[in-house]
Amino acid sequence: MLGVPGHQNRAANVRRKPLAPLPAELTGPVRDFVTALRRMHGELGYSLKEMESRLPASRSSLSRYLRGQSLPDERLLVEWCKLSFTGEDRLPALITLLHAACAAQESAGGAEEAEGAAVARPSDASPAPGGGDVPDAPALADATPAVVIPAPVAPHPGGTVTVPGPRAAPPAPVAASVAPAVVRPRGPRSLLIGLGAAVAVAATLTVLALTGTDRDSGTEAGNGTGTEPSAGTGPGAGTTVNVFNVERVCRGDRRPDCALALAGDPYEFYRRANVTGRVWHDDPLHARCRIADGVSVTDEAGGHSSIWLRVDHGDGQAWMPGIRIRPEQLQNIDLPVCHH
């Protein structure tokens, strides 16, 4: 196919900068996807400036995708593949690699949060298992245990959603035979115990503020069972949100390639078979409820989120990725948890 005369992807004098080698630290599924993407992109013969005029993405975004610094979404990947005469044949494999890369990024992000929490947690907040050496163990053995009462945790501002890191273990209950609680200075060790208890209480309150409970059905909110909460079924329930397109070139244009898709199922892949409708930048949508554990969607700027909103659309309802909602609205939205 290299000798096909006049092919649009084989210009006579192609001038473009060669892609820099991928960094050695880029490994696993993300590297596999970026390598396949660069291979397909290499067939096009277009510079990034030319690509910017053919795709709904900026030159800087395209450069980040080809360097492995962020991942495109499926809509952009489909348009990208259409520019190559072999791209549509490669598309199924590229989609599979993209899903694996997104999953690897999510897993790596969770591991980093867990590691950070483990480093922040005091290592000597409790005696070492197996009877290891503890510097002040004799003093603890013959003294009345001191109970440090953590300061009250300030209530979380209404309407703000905070996603906590890994949940800290709750403080151990005090035995009935222990003397009344006494706040007694015990030096660095007692201070660390108090800090650990404060972290546990703060994490518990944050999780309750985020998830809540379904008192009517007796099930925990967000566990995917039960029926739709009454707050999301009335005619006046929910709130209005606006569609947000991160690509500036599409914010004032209602071309078909600037549309954003609504899905029928937030737990299925965000692809054509799951699309039930289309919306454009700044369109108002009436949201009924939300979930935080749907399929992760990545936008053209590299941002990604697994939050989805159930919205009214036409004569029924559909699902809108949270990453496609105005950021300030998504951060301050107050909606019940959907039971999907």
Residue ranges per structural domain of the chain = 28-108, 160-167+201-340
pLDDT, residue 324, reads 92
Q: Could you tell me how far CA 261 lies from the centroid of its own chain?
A: 18
Dihedral angle sign, alpha carbons of residues 287, 293, 297, 301: positive
Residues of the chain with pLDDT under 50: 1-14, 123-128, 130-148, 153-154, 156-165, 175-183, 187-192, 201, 205-236
Q: Which of 207, 174, 179 is nearest to 193 (CA)?
A: 174
d(CA 338, CA 229): 7
DSSP state of 144: P
Work out the burial of residue 90: count CB atoms within 10 Å of its CB; fewer than 13 is exposed, 13-18 middle, 19 or more buried.
middle
pLDDT, residue 3, reads 44
pLDDT, residue 211, reads 41
The predicted-structure confidence for 173-226, as pLDDT tens digits, reads as follows 554 444 444 445 554 444 445 555 555 545 554 444 444 444 333 333 333 333
- CA dihedral (44, 48, 53, 56) in degrees, to 10, reads 90
Is the entire prediction scored with pTM above 0.75?
A: no
DSSP state of 243: B
pLDDT, residue 291, reads 92
pLDDT, residue 289, reads 94
d(CA 28, CA 101): 8
pLDDT, residue 84, reads 72
> How many CB atoms sit inside 10 A of residue 188's CB?
10
SS3 280: coil
Partners of 312 in the beta sheet? 317
pLDDT, residue 161, reads 44
pLDDT, residue 200, reads 54
Options 3.30.420, 1.10.260, 2.30.110, 3.30.1120; which CATH number does 28-108 get?
1.10.260
pLDDT, residue 202, reads 52
- Going by their DSSP bridges, the two strands 239-242 and 284-291 should be labelled as antiparallel
pLDDT, residue 41, reads 81
pLDDT, residue 119, reads 54
